[in-house]
Structure 1
Amino acid sequence: MIIHLDLDAFFASCERLLNPGLKNRPIAVGGRGDPFIFDQKSGHNIDVTLENSGAFVPTLFYNAESSFRDYFVENDRIRGIVITSSYEARACGIKTGMTIREALQQSPGLIVLPPRHLFYHDRSHALKKWLMKRVPVLEQYSVDEFFGDLKGWIADRDVPAFIDSLRREIETTFGLPVSIGAAPSKWIAKLATSAAKPNGCKALFAKDVDAFVDPKPIEAFPGIGRGFSKRLKAYKIETLGELKAAKHLLYRWKKPGIQLYHRVNGDDNESVVAGHDRRSIGISRTIDPVFDRREIRRRLIILCRHLSHLVTKIDAQPKRLFLGIKYQFGQKAKRSVTEPFTFSELALRRHILELFEAIDTYRSLAIVRLGIGCGAFETRPTTRGSLFGHEREMKERRLWHQTAKIRQKYGIDTIRSAVEML
């Protein structure tokens, strides 16, 4: 069978490890899309990591070591949204995605905490290493979720006892409550976990799957968001059983519909993947609307600094670069280029700024999101063939490696370009 582990209210549970006095109290961990990375001042505990990998594991985050006012209050306005909340807070109506202002109005006694992602990632990585010794094939799906394949390791009849023992061991060893689901297929196991929450287990054998799945509303299934739900309901499909009976319709929707049909049916045969080759890495940030292109270029240079620091951690040479822009009224511009060059922070900066000049076609509009990335990794640096260009690129690469050592030890903001502070 396949199992799915989901750490309950993970960020809130981590905060209780740091402060046991928060136990049984309504707490929420908040976040801000663009709090400090573009500040002209340094020392905001921004870091990057590739230690935990998964579909929804961020690489760049802010590690707050500050008060509520320092993090959430800007010009006397409370900014930010709830990114997770304890079950006590959820009982008061607090939901993920709610603004901090709304959450405090909903529950005046709510304790709202800035995020400490470094600690969350540390606990996630420690748990992953521990699980790898107990589950033969383990896949990290997000910072607080894992899939495991028990086939050939634990007999199906012993799975309920195994996952309950695993749940209790995790809580004893790490102090973290976890819910675990088990089923013959990957996504049914994830659905089973939702029925086990909080801090419980649910094992589904093949004979039990249809009775469990069919009555559930379509929104309960992982991967069915608002858009797909609205589309299905237009055809009077309200439950997963009704979805399973509409094979002809789902097949008309090509790959997304076909994939969803087989996942809900439990015959998708999707395997648990122990490791993924990293094909690309990137950083994006949503920002308040900015018209000034000089300020946009400054922010792109800052993103280049963070992305280049990520590249040092995988010790690879990217050949493909990407830039994406979103404007205030929804317009978008994006482009990628693939060409050999010797990677360094300065080289990355030059290429990204060139891309920006080429694709910024709506110059009268404010920009609200920036994203850069790189991929097509090789193991050795390459060059375009110019001797003089090669010498300059190698000099820049040596400088980049030296600054990376200092940033690794003292923080990414330790060494910055003068243009970033103007």
Structure 2
Amino acid sequence: MENLRHIVHIDLDSFFVSVERRLNPALIGKPVIIGGSKDRGVVTSCSYEARQFGIHSGMPSSKAYRLCPHAIFLKGSHGRYSEASREVTKIIHDSVPLYQKTSVDEFYIDLTGMDRFYDPYQLATDLRQRVINDTGLPISFGMASCKTVAKMATNQAKPNGQLRVPHGGEVDFMAPLNISKIPMLGKKTCEKLYTYGIEKIGDLQKTNVRFLESLFGKAGKYIWDKAHGIDDSEIIPYSDRKSISTEHTFHEDTANRHQLETILVSMTEELAFKLRSENKLASCLAIKIRYANFETHTLQEKIALTSAEHVLIPGIKNLLKRAWNQHRPIRLIGVKLSQLCSGSYQINLFEDNEEQIKLYKAMDSINFKFGNKTVCRAAGMEITQRNFNPFHPTV
């Protein structure tokens, strides 16, 4: 008998808003917007009450204010949200054999094989209730035979609900939904399908796969599979121990603070760019110092989840100040970012305005195309000039 898959997708509802409401219950039932002020910034998260006015994440806060002037605007605290995410992660880690953390507020869990001993749906129900009881945060989950359908079930179960799609019921569950409900199906793809009268997933299910391949190439088969609930992608085990690091050995030992900070800026930029290119966030920052006699010291600290160098650089400079005996020359210096998880700009948005976010995306776009360090801070240029054209633009 085939071993049926039991995949659970868990999503914390309006996570950042929920954390704020846990601290201040007076916010419950009101339109709440996280991210900047009504005049400046970007919406990072918003309550369901605010969404009724057409507000969504990534929208300029000024526009959100025009849509809902009576909304409550909060700058937000990424430290609080990171800690709340860790609380939930620990509960899941202690409760299930295999899970994947895909962002600060989203998880996939694989309960395949557990049905020999327990009811997987009851296990997921108990886990959800444990998170609610222990953290006070609302949470939704969907259960299905694959990640795609499980995520769609979660979205249908929100807010603060749960839904199981039985094996063999995937096509019927998906059929009445709009094609835009399929995860990873982009806006342009949907618009192209709309022009052919394909609006519901049921329409897509009836479409010949060869027709879709004529429109989208190899992606046509991928779209057809998704519409039929076919998704063999595995749960990638989550690990808190993943890290990226880089080191620099000096030709001559140095105690020049400016030189050390210049190197650190360049290395931190490099690691931050790598994080963003891999859609990762780091929650631990460390510095490594090796003196002339090879004596080595490391110092690390927990940080709020981030991939932005304007947050990381001050942190690494502070670690240098704390770790370095300034009377001793340094032979080697290194930077390490660890305890990584999947995620993008959602945490960084709290301290960023719209222009800064656009700047990061523009920098990354150029560096993806022409190579890392094509665009970088002036402070990081001194190290790159040995390996790159000295006329590179800086910001």
| Residues in 2 aligned to 1:130 and 1:165: alpha-carbon distance in whole angstroms | 11
- Is the Cα–Cα contact under 8 Å of residues 160 and 202 in structure 1 kept in the other structure? no
Q: 1:210 aligns with which of 154, 158, 171?
A: 171
- State yes or no: 1:250 paired with 2:286: no
Tell me if 1:12 matches 2:17: yes
Task: State whether structure 2 residue 261 is matched by structure 1 residue 261.
Answer: no
1:356 and 1:29, CA in 2 relative to 1: closer, same or farther beyond 3 A? farther
Look up the SS of the partner of 2:235 in the other structure.
coil
Corresponding residue of 2:313: 305
- Which string of whole-angstrom CA distances, capped at 9 and with x for unpartnered residues, describes residues 146-177 of structure 1? 00000012469923333222222211111110
Q: Counterpart in 2 of 1:199?
A: 160
Deviations 1:2-27 (A, max 9, x none): 00001000000011122222222221
Kept in 2, the 8 Å contact 1:301–1:349? The answer is no
Partners of 2:221 and 2:385 lie apart in 1 by: 38
Residue identity opposite 1:305 in structure 2: I
In structure 2, what is the Cα distance between the partners aligned to 1:199 and 1:146? 15
How do 1:68-79 residues align onto structure 2 when only pairs under 5 Å count? 72=37, 78-79=39-40
Aligned-pair distance for 1:132?
1.2
Number of positions where the alignment pairs a residue of Structure 1 with one of Structure 2: 289
TM-score if structure 1 supplies the norm length?
0.59
Distance across 2 between alignment mates of 1:230 and 1:279 = 39
Q: Within 5 Å, give how 1:171-210 maps onto structure 2.
A: 171-210=132-171
Q: Secondary structure at the match of 1:258?
A: helix
Query: Shift of the alpha carbon at 1:259?
Result: 3.0
Residues 215-249 of structure 1, C-alpha deviations (whole Å, 9 max, x = no match): 21111111112122122223332122222333113
Q: 1:275 aligns with which of 230, 235, 238?
A: 238
1:26 paired residue number: 31
Name the CA distance, whole Å, in 2 between partners of 1:19 and 1:325.
34
> What is the alpha-carbon root mean square deviation over aligned residues?
3.8
CA-to-aligned-CA distance 1:71-94 (integer Å, 9 cap, x gap): x37xxxx11222211122223443
Distance in 1 (alpha carbons) for counterparts of 2:94 and 2:176: 37
The CA deviation at 1:202 is 0.4
8 Å Cα contact 1:163/1:201 also seen in 2 = no
Deviation at 1:255, TM superposition (A): 4.5
- CA 1:182/1:349 → structure 2, altered by over 3 Å: closer, same or farther? farther
The answer to whether the 8 A contact 2:243-2:338 is kept is no
Give, in whole Å, the separation in 1 of the partners of 2:370 and 2:205.
Answer: 39
- Indicate the percent of aligned positions where both proteins have the same amino acid: 30
Which structure 1 segments of 5+ residues have no match? 32-71, 286-299, 316-323, 339-345, 361-366, 371-422
The structure-2 alpha-carbon separation of the partners of 1:166 and 1:152, relative to structure 1 and needing over 3 Å to count, comes to same
Unaligned stretches of 5+ in structure 2? 1-5, 246-270, 277-307, 318-333, 340-359, 374-378
User: What one-letter code is carried by the residue in structure 2 that aligns with 1:326?
Assistant: A
Q: Residue 304 and residue 181 in structure 1: after superposition, are their counterparts in 2 closer, same or farther (change >3 A)? A: closer
